[in-house]
Amino acid sequence: MTKTKKGDSYVFMGVSSCGKSSIGAAVAQALETKFIDGDDLHPRANIIKMKSGSALNDTDRAPWLERINDAVYSIEQKAERGVIVCSALRRHYRDLIRQGNSKVVFIHLYGDFELVKQRMLARKAHFMPIELLKSQFDTLEIPATDEADVIQVSIDGSFEEVVQRCIQAINGEK
């Protein structure tokens, strides 16, 4: 049984290859909620830039974050429930997603550089090259304790364990 309510959005955040998409999709399925992969909301120019090995800057991210904000807003306004994947690496980005949205919770999937690097190397057919992983960690602003709408979930463990941790966290279980 889930404790999610109509209008709730869970934004799975963290660096590339921490499992946002796969874990988010599994959690959405388990909770019987809508799933939106934020990578699908990147404008074409961002995808081309990342494929070329260049990191995105804040100007590049602005239209993407607006699309994420709009998706959260839509879920809330239609009284649906949803899981959305978005790196949301900086507090400013999270604040932009929060803007005008009262029912959003961030699930920060975290792990150390070496663990994430190994997972990235195991991935196939993704547009984010390994060279940009360090820039992801450099950009990440760990959510502060005053960000009460952020739940921290370690990715150290099996896929199933991490999914279960996320579901338990969403349901307010320890």
118 or 75, higher pLDDT: 75
What confidence score (pLDDT) does residue 174 get?
Answer: 62
Under CATH, domain 9-170 is a member of which superfamily? P-loop containing nucleotide triphosphate hydrolases (3.40.50.300)
pLDDT for 60-80, tens place per residue? Answer: 999 999 999 999 999 999 999
Q: What is the pTM of this model?
A: 0.90
Measured CA to CA in angstroms, residue 55 lies from 124, 128, 137, 159, 165 at distances of 20, 9, 12, 28, 31
- pLDDT value at position 127? 52
Alpha-carbon dihedral 25, 50, 125, 164, rounded to 10 degrees: -20
- The helix (H) or strand (E) run that includes residue 151 is strand 150-154
